Every structure is written in C-alpha cells, then in structure tokens.
C-alpha cells in the first residue's frame, strides 16, 4: 500500500467517524433542552394568564359601567317627563327588572350562561334611586371592584378593594 493510499484510507476513516458523530448529534433535542423550554413556557404562562384574565375583567367592567350610565340617563329623562324617578326598570323600557347583560353589552336573560352583570334598581322612590351592576359568573371573580353602584345624586362606589376612581 502506497503512502497515498494510506493517506486516502486515513482521511476516509476520519470522515466516516465525523459523519457518524454528526448523525448522532443531529437526531433532535436532548431531554435537558426540552425541560428548559418547558420551564420557560410554564413561567411565561404563569405571568401571562393572570394578566390576560385581569384585562378581560376590566373590559367587562367597562361594559357594566356603561350600562349603568345608560340606565342613569333614562332615569333622568323619566324624571324630566314625569317629575319623579321610576321605581321599576320596566318603566324605562327594559324588558325585566332586574335584567342581565353579556360581556358585549347585549341584554340577556338573568339565568343566561353568558351574563356578565345583573343590573338592579334599589332604594327606588319618586325622589331617588340606586343602580347596581352586580358581577355574575366569571366576572364574579372581580374582587378589585365587585358590585358597581351609582345613585341618583351621582355618587359612585364599588364593593371591592379598589378605589372608586380605579373602578369608575
């Protein structure tokens, strides 16, 4: 065997060794790499899901606030026309008293599975009233603001831990 043939055999043997090593390492992810990715995804989900849920609660709260202000405007119009406030929501054009709204503000049945708030009229008299948006189902987890309330004198409050300015 000539030196040239030995050199070619040596190069071919090294090439075979490198190809075998490359095939073995190119097979996929190691268990450690996979566990690192799973851990990173779990940490990201732990941070993202509560923030997303709070964003959804805020959006639904905005719908509840808007509905209370709509009822308030109807009450004031009723007062202008009749020189007294209505003691029933049905006198203001609503089909039920109380009634429920969904997350997009549409009126739904009080036992509907898509309801977000129950709108109630309490302490109603010809001279004053209190409107409440009581959170329902998934929205009932809104412990920051809870039930939103507005009176005929414009006083706004909430039953949760947050301040009125945060909720209104």
133 falls within a domain:
yes
Inside any domain, residue 13: no
Do 119 and 133 contact (CB within 8 A), yes or no?
yes
| DSSP letter for each residue of 127-161 | TEEEEEEEE-GGGGG-TTT-SEEEETT--EEESSS
Backbone angles phi, psi at 149, to 5 degrees: -135, 140
Question: What integer pLDDT is reported at residue 75 of this predicted model?
Answer: 97
Domain count, the chain: 1
Residue span of the structural domain in which 79 resides:
46-162
pLDDT at 10: 72
Tell me if 35 is assigned to some domain. Answer: no
pTM of this structure: 0.74
Report if residue 94 sits inside a domain. yes
Q: Is residue 4 part of a domain?
A: no
Q: Is residue 8 part of a domain?
A: no
Q: Which residues of the chain have pLDDT under 50?
A: none
Strands of the chain, DSSP E = 99-102, 107-108, 115-125, 128-135, 148-151, 156-158
């Amino acid at each position: 065997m000539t030196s040239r043939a030995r050199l070619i055999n040596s190069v071919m043997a090294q090439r075979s060794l490198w190809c075998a090593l490359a095939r073995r390492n190119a097979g996929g992810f190691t268990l450690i790499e996979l566990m690192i990715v799973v851990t990173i995804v779990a940490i990201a989900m732990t941070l993202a899901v509560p923030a997303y849920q709070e964003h959804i609660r805020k959006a639904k709260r905005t719908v509840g606030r808007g509905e209370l202000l709509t009822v308030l405007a109807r009450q004031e119009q009723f007062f202008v026309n009749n020189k007294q406030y209505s003691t029933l929501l049905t006198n203001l054009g609503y089909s039920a008293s109380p009634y429920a709204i969904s997350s997009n503000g549409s009126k739904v049945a009080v036992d509907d599975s898509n309801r977000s708030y129950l709108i109630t009229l309490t302490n109603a008299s010809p001279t004053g009233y209190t409107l409440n948006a009581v959170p329902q189902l998934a929205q009932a987890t809104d412990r920051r603001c809870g039930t939103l309330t507005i009176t005929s004198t414009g006083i706004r409050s909430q039953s949760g831990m947050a301040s009125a300015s945060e909720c209104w």
